[in-house]
Amino acid sequence: MVTKSSLRIAVDMTPVLSNGENGGSKVLVLTLFKQLQTLASQYKFFLLTAPWNHAELLEYQTENTQCILIDSLVPADPPPPPISDRRVVRLAHKVTRKIKGKLKQFYPEKSLLKKHRVDLLFCPFSAPNFAEKDIPTVAIVYDLQHLDYPDFFTDEERQHRDQFLNNLLQVAQKLICISEFSRQSFLTKLNAPAEKLAVTYISVHDRWPGLDPATVTKNLQELGLSDRSYAFYPANYWPHKNHRMLLTAYEIYQNNFPGNTLNLVFTGALKQEEQKLQEMVAEAGLSDRVHFLGYLSEAHLESVWRGCQFLVFPSLYEGFGIPVLEGMIFGKPVLSSTAGSLPEVGGNAVIYFDPKDPEELANCLSQIDRNETAATDLIQKGYERLKQFESEKMVQEYLKVFLEVVRK
């Protein structure tokens, strides 16, 4: 019988990429796993890695964690190059679906997990590619964006996601949703069984080490931001992130208040989409005020957070919205759209706007940029809101699900 002190868990990390294309899911997965290692040190973890990420993930190998390289993925199946509208589930599926035939050559009876006496397979990027009979599977699910915004996907991509999710519902014993919004989407749009769904909020906003002011100043100087007042939007350039609407609202704000000094800063991967946005900025004559910083190191990203005036988050669709809580923990006012899970996360500590109304967003920019009292009030509300999102509670909820599934 499996006991709390003897659980052996395989974690599928093969979809992890080093170029930022995983977006917030990578932040969640790696931060969550570090906390699992600490709070469940009595467990044995097996990280399933791929040739493109094995070296990076070796840093997580400890007394209770072993990295297992799936070298059958070499050399024909490296991750595809960035595509603007690829999301976590689709990426995980596309990276690994082509290699399942190869894996059967090496594990004809799907013996990888049984070989290591694994009690549970955890799929934090959703795809249950290494699931085996009689070994329970738990997966994180993020959203159903392809059903709410089908125009952001090709027919083939929508079909792949439908097939993938139908398979996941059959294979997994439990799906952990990252918000109640996400859970309701699975209930209403996929008719998923309620008993198969759990909700655990993301709580990774306190992972930042805390840079000293001198390092922050140095990093901001390197990025050309040391003397700038700026709004910050950290997001890959996927269509649902709605950068174009934000730029339109920013241009309206500049026209309404020509003497203002507010700049706008973007970080994120996907160079091709970034180039298109840069062209839009140049046409508006705002190239000296809008900064595209690309995919940053953690230290430089933290410095940008600490230097910004406020967070603006105009996304059209979110399963959670990690930056909303990050803005709060850095003591920044938060402007957010009303889309998806964002009101569920932000509560009363956020100024909200319609993500399809640039005039409304321009007005919100003026509320924060030109009203110090309003900004201070939001910061205090943000600190209070964070008390509802504790990292230890998140980890304990995951561990509770793991034990319940194994014991059944």
Residue among 53, 67, 158, 148 at smallest CA distance from 96: 53
Tokens found for residue 258: 């020509």
Q: What are phi and psi of 8, to 5 degrees?
A: -120, 115
Q: What is the pLDDT of residue 105?
A: 39
Among residues 96, 176, 92, 173, the alpha carbon closest in space to that of 142 is found at: 176
Give the position of tokens 């709410």.
Answer: 148
- At 364-373, the pLDDT tens digits run 999 999 889 9
Residues 228-274 have pLDDT tens digits of 999 999 999 999 999 999 999 999 999 999 989 999 999 998 888 99
Per-residue pLDDT at 73 exceeds 90: no
Report residue 98's pLDDT band, with 50, 70 and 90 as the boundaries.
very low
Q: What is the pLDDT, as a whole number, of residue 74?
A: 61
Q: Point out which residues pair with 67 in neighbouring strands.
A: 47
Q: Could you give all domains of the chain from N- to C-terminal order, each with its CATH number?
A: 8-203+390-407 (3.40.50.2000), 213-388 (3.40.50.2000)
Give percent of the chain above pLDDT 70: 89
Tokens of 220: 């901001």
Q: What percent of the chain has pLDDT over 90?
A: 81
Q: What is the pTM of this model?
A: 0.86
Please name which of 44, 53, 36, 37 lies closest in space to residue 10, comparing C-alpha atoms.
44
